[in-house]
Amino acid sequence: MRALEAERARLAEVIRLESRRQAIRDRTESLERDAVRILQELDALDLEAKNADTPIGESPVRDEIAKLRDRVRAREECDVIIRFGSRIFRVDRDVVKILPFGSGRLLLAYFKIAERYYNTWRKRRGG
């Protein structure tokens, strides 16, 4: 009976964690869809301003928009994103996959495991 209660408690914890993970994934996908929509609207406005010969000044937001565009494009192309501190590197997935002796797929798997480990560590750290 105690084993069943322990199993039930473990299953409840697994369900709780899985539902939280799914909610986070759903929210991330929703935000990414919103980002794509916003970037499309910004592109349309940039084109409209260009056609109207209306120069739009530089702003600090432009850099953030460029970073967002890069992130969305990388996500759409399934590229590998590597973060070292505040620096972000984007590695073309196709380039990694063509490494000899199947080492590209191994490297992609390593990146995925490292990312999961880092995310788990960051969650436990509270950040």
> pTM of the entire structure?
0.46
pLDDT tens across the length of the chain (127 residues): 888 898 889 999 989 888 888 888 888 888 888 888 888 888 887 787 777 776 666 666 777 777 777 777 777 777 777 777 777 777 787 888 788 888 888 888 888 888 788 778 877 887 5
Farthest-apart Cα atoms in the chain, separation: 77
Contacts of 79 (CB under 8 A, 6+ apart): 90, 91, 92, 93
As a whole number of Å, the end-to-end CA separation of the chain is: 39
Considering only CA atoms, which of 40, 96, 46 is closest in space to residue 68?
A: 40
